[in-house]
Structure 1
């Protein structure tokens, strides 16, 4: 991170990337002196509430983050930056987005945790839009024009006030990762399914294992069970995916499956009013299959350069994930984040699938709706197939490769209803395995 003093002294002239966080209340006009080179600008965690009228001098700007500031109106001047590809205004106080404010070139727009009750019709002009983050607002509906965004692949709508999902949304050809928990249109938790309550006082917290948007995971000793467990303590705030309590309910309702981390119970930290999940520890020999998408890939995971998978590993991963996805949808749960970075594998490809932060519970009574929910997630599974084929160690596109490529193509048929369901996918994978193609 650079400093405001460096900027004012001219030491940053010629830079392509700038990040400033120093309780700034007024936009530093010296930033405009970087117009010839600046491509990435991050002014998050300041106290800004407006941008200058000539912000558009930054004609080469591609990425602009301005989260955790004091904006109440989405700045219209951003639409005058022709190359702007990614914009993030998470956790401001934005209540109004003007009709000409959203640039047509945007590929990724983050408006999480604001006060937006309506989006402008002009968002339908964003023909490149792939990723739209709207969780934690006051939306009651989506503009019909959004259906023109045919490239939209990831949509976060959780923690809003949406009564009904429009039919056109469920037919968008590229939509693969959808979350809408915490809305009237999502299903309430099943009151008959609960997890045992484990006193937080009986958990001896050892060390931090990891941290995500919704919570922190610790290793702990359970005094009741005399064994080490994993404890995920939720942060309590709305995240990019929704409410932590929805994650907890979905995790519990998911039940038992060999590809899911087993939930032992839930816990309360009465001293800090935090809730959490108690889970079995994941064996140490499991490793992350992938890494989250980058700014460049937008909606697609990235992998370590030397990652290679055998046919056995590929088929075992896909068999596990298709099975657990079928299991979840039979229970009316859409995971919403079916990605390699949420999967852990061992050397044989045995897989554990986790992170229910974007999960949505939905009603299965209406077959057309429930079929669409499942087949939206089938599209995400298709991208997983594509990713694994890119890591397949064989130097040639053999019969095994061709069979999986055909499956991937069927998962991405533009008519959502023509795609196979997860039960059919399980059968296809079993047939590939039985034909000794691995």
Structure 2
């Protein structure tokens, strides 16, 4: 994090990224002194409610973050920033998004947790749009012009007021990751599954150390004193209350429970009751430390694509084992009326043998289990996510892979990613193909 004093003293000359947080109420004009080099500007966590009309003087600016401020309108000056591709205004008070505020090269727009009721038709006139984060607003409809955004791959519209998913949305050729939980349109979670989940008293748990923290909650290693007197090592996830980019953490918890048991899903032991602060949480299987994330999160540059270690190589058996496990897990979820919504390498834990677990249900949504064109389309969006994953695995398989097997997998990848959504195979067929290899 940089300081205003450093900026004013000229100590930051030549930098490409500037991070300023600390109660700013006005845009520091000294930022314009960095115009020749500044590409990423992060002004999150301040008290700003406007930006200067001449912001376009920052001619190299590609990325702007202004989350956790006091904006009530997306500033129109953004539209004149010709190099700007990524905009983040999460957790403000925005209720107005003028079409003029959308820059021509817009690729990634984050407006999570605001007060937006409508979006301008100009949003569909941004051909480079790839990621759109709108969870936690008051949207009742989406502009039909978005049907022209043929590169749109990820959209989050959880926790809004949508009463239906528009037909055109489910026909977008590139749409791959969709989250819509917490809208009136969503099918309810399986009440019987939620009710049947064992209750585990907070007093029976002893936290040991924190294992990780994400947008939706904190995971810790713990000891669970079961009713039979046996102490079992487990993982405890305590959910946060605030809105995440994917949606509500409590919807995530319900999806984890409703998913049920599968060898490639992290097992839920029960839900926590009687937490002293009323926090919601789950007790889950403790994952062996030999497991690691298959990939890293997408970067500002990769946008919707995971970042893999440069030296990651997989043998044929490991890659196929991962592909089979994830296809099986996704097929199981679809049978329960759940789309994962975030089927990515960074949400997959693997070990050296190719054993794998699909985690992070933050973007999961419920749909009807009865077969229909809509439920099939929702499932086939996830098939495209699997196709992307399959391509990433193929790119990292060691030499020696038989030509016939590679051709078969490349053909499966092509079918999973084809533009015709309903023309893609379902996960039962995908699993059959993989088993045949």
2: CA distance, partners of 1:166 / 1:429 = 33
TM-score, normalisation: structure 1: 0.97
Question: 1:392 is matched with which residue: 390, 397, 410?
Answer: 397
2: CA distance, partners of 1:269 / 1:32 = 53
Aligned partner of 1:340 in structure 2 is 345
TM-aligned CA deviation for residue 396 of structure 1: 6.9
Mapping for residues 154-169 of structure 1, pairs under 5 Å: 154-169=154-169
1: CA distance, partners of 2:405 / 2:79 = 47
Aligned partner of 1:355 in structure 2 is 360
SS of 1:358 mapped into structure 2 = coil
Question: 2:205 is matched with which residue: 203, 210, 227?
Answer: 203
TM-aligned CA deviation for residue 366 of structure 1: 5.2
Check whether the contact 2:217–2:240 (CA below 8 A) recurs between aligned residues: yes
Aligned partner of 2:59 in structure 1 is 59
TM-aligned CA deviation for residue 125 of structure 1: 0.9
2: CA distance, partners of 1:386 / 1:296 = 19
Mapping for residues 69-148 of structure 1, pairs under 5 Å: 69-148=69-148
SS of 1:123 mapped into structure 2 = helix
Mapping for residues 410-429 of structure 1, pairs under 5 Å: 410-429=415-434
Comparing 388-397 with 374-383, greater Cα deviation is found at 388-397
1:304-337 residue CA offsets vs partner (Å, 9 max, x unmatched): 1111101001110010011111110011100000
Aligned partner of 1:178 in structure 2 is 178
TM-aligned CA deviation for residue 13 of structure 1: 2.0
TM-aligned CA deviation for residue 269 of structure 1: 5.3
Q: Which runs of 4+ in 1 moved over 4 A?
A: none
2: CA distance, partners of 1:73 / 1:428 = 51
Aligned partner of 1:435 in structure 2 is none
Mapping for residues 8-407 of structure 1, pairs under 5 Å: 8-194=8-194, 195-224=197-226, 225-268=230-273, 270-365=275-370, 367-394=372-399, 398-407=403-412
Comparing 344-353 with 128-137, greater Cα deviation is found at 344-353
Aligned partner of 1:436 in structure 2 is none
Check whether the contact 1:4–1:22 (CA below 8 A) recurs between aligned residues: no
TM-aligned CA deviation for residue 36 of structure 1: 1.5
2: CA distance, partners of 1:35 / 1:395 = 50
TM-aligned CA deviation for residue 403 of structure 1: 1.4
TM-aligned CA deviation for residue 400 of structure 1: 2.1
Structure 1: gaps of 5 or more residues: 433-438
1: CA distance, partners of 2:345 / 2:110 = 22
SS of 2:282 mapped into structure 1 = strand
1:7-44 residue CA offsets vs partner (Å, 9 max, x unmatched): 11122222211111111111101111211111110001
TM-aligned CA deviation for residue 268 of structure 1: 3.3
2: CA distance, partners of 1:95 / 1:281 = 43
1: CA distance, partners of 2:399 / 2:113 = 45
1: CA distance, partners of 2:407 / 2:265 = 29
Q: Figure out how many residues of one structure are paired with residues of the other and give that number.
A: 432
2: CA distance, partners of 1:135 / 1:295 = 20
TM-aligned CA deviation for residue 51 of structure 1: 0.2
Structure 2: gaps of 5 or more residues: none
SS of 1:96 mapped into structure 2 = coil
Check whether the contact 2:316–2:401 (CA below 8 A) recurs between aligned residues: no
TM-aligned CA deviation for residue 429 of structure 1: 0.6
1:196-221 residue CA offsets vs partner (Å, 9 max, x unmatched): 11111210010001111100000111
2: CA distance, partners of 1:390 / 1:74 = 40
1: CA distance, partners of 2:291 / 2:377 = 33
TM-score, normalisation: structure 2: 0.97
Check whether the contact 1:269–1:275 (CA below 8 A) recurs between aligned residues: no
Comparing 3-12 with 136-145, greater Cα deviation is found at 3-12
Check whether the contact 1:187–1:363 (CA below 8 A) recurs between aligned residues: yes
SS of 2:395 mapped into structure 1 = helix
1:82-141 residue CA offsets vs partner (Å, 9 max, x unmatched): 110111001111010012111121111111111111110000111001100000011011
Check whether the contact 1:161–1:184 (CA below 8 A) recurs between aligned residues: yes
Comparing 248-257 with 265-274, greater Cα deviation is found at 265-274
2: CA distance, partners of 1:138 / 1:102 = 20
SS of 1:74 mapped into structure 2 = coil
